[in-house]
Amino acid sequence: MDFALELSPAARRDLKRLPPKIRKKIMFIYLPKIQEKPFEVGKPLQGALRGEHCYRFGRKPEYRIVYFVENEVITVTIIGTRENIYKQARQRLRKG
């Protein structure tokens, strides 16, 4: 099954704030992996973020890409370091 991939406006802003080296890896390595097998590479989230998935990568700092899949479209909602990513995702969920 082929999936389309989109970045939310907030995820685009998140991506711009990351170091260029990490940004390049996300665009050319991690997002294509998610697009190819979104349910296999990402861990399903619980609680307020139920229905979304999280792809983890990196070490010191660890990064997360939070996304959801709907009708063969993957929408990335947040990209960032592990520290406050889930709190930020819940806040964006309430605003949206």
Q: What is the CATH number of the domain that holds 61?
A: 3.30.2310.20
Residue of higher predicted confidence among 5 and 88: 5
- Residue 29 is part of which domain span? 4-95
Q: What is the dihedral of CA 44, 55, 35, 88, to 10 degrees?
A: 80
Mean confidence (pLDDT) of the chain: 92
SS3 of 64, please? Answer: strand
Q: With 70 as the cut, is the pLDDT of residue 96 above it? A: no
pTM, entire model? 0.90
Domain count for the chain? 1
SS3 of 42, please? Answer: coil
What is the mean predicted confidence (pLDDT) over 8-35?
Answer: 96
Residue 63 CB coordination number (10 Å):
19
